[in-house]
Amino acid sequence: MTTYIIRRLLIMPITLMGVTFLIFAMMQILGPVERSALYVRDVPKTENQINAIIERYGLADPIHFQYWYWLVGRQDPQTGDVVGGILRGDLGFSRTGREPVIDMLQRRFPATLELALWAMIPIIAGGIWMGMKAALNHNRPVDQVSRVFATLGWSIPTFVLGLLLLLIFYARLGWFAPGRLSTQFALEVTRPGFIQYTKMMTVDALLNLRFDIFIDALTHLVMPVITLAVIQWALLLRVTRSSMLEEMRQDYVRTARSKGLKERTVVNRHIRRNALIPVVTIAGATLAGLMNGAVVTETIFNYPGLGQMAAEAAVTLDVITMLGFALFNGILFIGAYLIVDILYVVIDPRIRLS
């Protein structure tokens, strides 16, 4: 197991470097004028300006030089300052956000994280619970219903589900509204009296003991959370169900039963513990799915997170923001997959002890 973890840790920097190569390669598809947005706020208009900027920031230098500038920054020959350099946290200037890409990522990430964390609750609780119920009642009505649910939930596109929820719960019933907060609270949370500790609205509201804001933020989260959760819920249900069915056929289960153990003990102590191991392997896929879903969900529900930022930038072809978003995702998910892989070998005794 130690060898595996060491190997996995050694591969990580290689993947990280590969990710920077890939993003840099995508950037090279663009012309020097578009790439100049890494350094200047306004896209140059006249030919003289363009040539001056290409000269100044080395945008026509050999490609390995450009990669190096992009990675660590480059001294501006006119001012003497170091400019650019993703390692210095300079990802360029976002045209859509009118602010540096890195600031935008920092400001919007907590909102997406909050959405994803709330979505985890129905995904894990509902998916695992329904998957187990379905497996324990194999081929009975509960199983059939959850299978239909899983197939439907897996097939419905996120954007269609989101709009249908809006149609029912907003347009028809008026229970929930899009956005992050109601207008009366939206201003209040920016005032000095309300301290934004985590920038996650529900958490901040609790920390400030403002339960009215907490409830308001929560009601705004209901529709996006459902939209985001359904597809992952369906996935987790399927994995849990088939994993449970697989374990229920094993010899050790028969042994446990023949020892005279109570059915509940067999299920809880023997089957479930082993059946949940494969579920961990799809945790990475679930996180990636949440990020995919966030792009669509936040756009539909006008929720100011990373996904909405990406969708806006994509429509206006603000590629510098898109590439910053890609880099952020690359780093985030290299970390996430590393944790999931290590967790997997740690919790599975068959691998841990071998």
Cross-strand partners of 83 = 74
Closest CB 256 distance from other proteins, rounded Å: 21
Q: Give me the 334-353 binding string for other proteins, x by CB under 8 A, dash otherwise.
A: x--x----------------
Closest CB 214 distance from other proteins, rounded Å: 25
Reading the block at residue 44, the tokens are 């140059």
- Which of 296, 305, 309, 341 is close enough to bind other proteins by CB under 8 A? 296
Distances in Å between the alpha carbon of 105 and those of 7, 67, 68, 72? 31, 22, 23, 19
Site residue total, other proteins (CB under 8 A): 55
**Interaction of residue 4 with other proteins, rule CB under 8 A:** no
* 99-102: Cβ within 8 A, 24+ apart: 101/320, 101/321, 101/324, 101/325, 102/324
Q: How far apart are CA 329 and CA 295, in angstroms?
A: 12
**Interaction of residue 171 with other proteins, rule CB under 8 A:** yes
Region of 94-102, 215-223, 264-272, 295-303 interacting with other proteins (CB under 8 A): 295-303
> How many DSSP H helices and E strands does the chain contain?
18, 4
**Interaction of residue 29 with other proteins, rule CB under 8 A:** yes
**Interaction of residue 303 with other proteins, rule CB under 8 A:** no
**Interaction of residue 6 with other proteins, rule CB under 8 A:** no
Give, in degrees to the nearest 5, the angle at Cα 276 between 272 and 234.
Answer: 110
- Which of 44, 207, 333, 348 is close enough to bind other proteins by CB under 8 A? 333
**Interaction of residue 11 with other proteins, rule CB under 8 A:** yes
Q: How far apart are CA 277 and CA 244, in angstroms?
A: 10
Closest CB 291 distance from other proteins, rounded Å: 4
- Which of 13, 77, 157, 349 is close enough to bind other proteins by CB under 8 A? 157
Reading the block at residue 184, the tokens are 């009366």
Cross-strand partners of 98 = none
Q: Give me the 60-89 binding string for other proteins, x by CB under 8 A, dash otherwise.
A: ------------------------------
Those residues with Cβ within 8 angstroms of residue 149's Cβ, 6 or more apart along the chain or in another chain: 130, 234, 237
**Interaction of residue 101 with other proteins, rule CB under 8 A:** no
Determine phi and psi for 61, rounding to 5 degrees.
Answer: -70, 165
Burial 231-243 (b: 16+ CB within 10 A, else e): bbbbbbbbbbbeb
For other proteins, the binding residues in 246-265 under the rule CB under 8 A are 246
Binding site for other proteins (CB under 8 A): 11, 14-15, 18-19, 21-22, 26-27, 29-30, 34, 151-152, 154-160, 163-164, 166-167, 170-172, 178, 246, 288-289, 291-292, 295-296, 299-300, 310-311, 313-315, 317-319, 322-323, 325-326, 329-330, 333-334, 337
